[in-house]
Structure 1
Amino acid sequence: MEKTLNGAKLEVVQGDITQSAMACIVNAANSSLLGGGGVDGAIHRAGGRRILDECVRIRSERGGCPVGEAVITTGGNLKAKHVIHTVGPVWNGGKKGEAEKLGNCYRSALRLAEQHGIASISFPNISTGIYGYPKDEAAEVAIGAVTGVLARKHGFERIQFVCFDFENYDLYVERVGEL
């Protein structure tokens, strides 16, 4: 599924984000930046030691990464040259600012990508795994945040949502198709 918005291709694909050939992939990290389960663990395993070493350096300088913010490292052994690590919110029923925090993940990652001249970027479905964010609500927030950035002048050529599971894939295809 693909749409063009303000000159950028917005794509939805089903697959493994660690195999993305975009210039940058986004990691749904935890605040320690030291790897973990799900997407975070897969990216650290596939990308190798250089990613972890840079995360350790960032952690020692900044003390980690707060929810909704983002940091950038090398892509290590990945096809992607860069990894942007962002920390999504844990779902607490939607009454603790989760939507704003999740939107900030996407906006922070795109802002950091722009600052580094990155024209193509792949996003996972942030917070929809162990953090428990309802997939349909997360899709709305993610697509809204990304299209909000694309509505203004930007330097992006391609933005992908890489959905590991078919449930997320179907949700994103439906919502992007409605744009």
Structure 2
Amino acid sequence: MKDPTYNIGSVLKRVRFERELTLEEASNLTGVSKAMLGQIERGESNPTISILWKISTGLRISFSELLGSQNNKYEAISIEDIEPVYESDGKMILYDVFPFDPMTGFEYFYIKLLPGAEHVSTPHQSSVEEYIVVTKGTLKLTLEDQTFELAAPSALRFKPSGSHTYSNPYDSEVVFQNVIKY
């Protein structure tokens, strides 16, 4: 197996230069000393997993990218090939297209609401934002004491700090995308 130390150093250096960060600025972001970051960039130090996590988290890059194992191939995803989650007596069909990744800070759902569907979602933490894009039908979205009728094509952004309800009281299917940003 090839020693990843060189790849780690070159990726760190590339990211730092792309973002025009000094070693000191990178150190402040990651919590790793300037001296250690310099040694890693020069391939003089084999960092621990703990140090690598600090670097990837601080610079907001994936751990696999830092290791130089970033897969640059494209992958098309067929929504219908994803195993759905059924809610609301099977009337809400949720596809977790892009599951939560702490490096990107979001997750993406493709959701179908059959006629008569109603789903009550509990409040999320205060730093969360939801982005809804309705692409088919009309979504009835209730946020605390306010109700929105979102007919396709339409969108809404909100902070889900209170309970919120997604419903389809109509005779045709609703399709919408939900991005949750943490």
TM-score, scaled to structure 2: 0.24
Larger of the two Rg values belongs to structure = 2
Relative contact order higher in (CA < 8 Å, ≥ 6 apart)? 1
- Specify which structure has the higher proportion of strand: 2
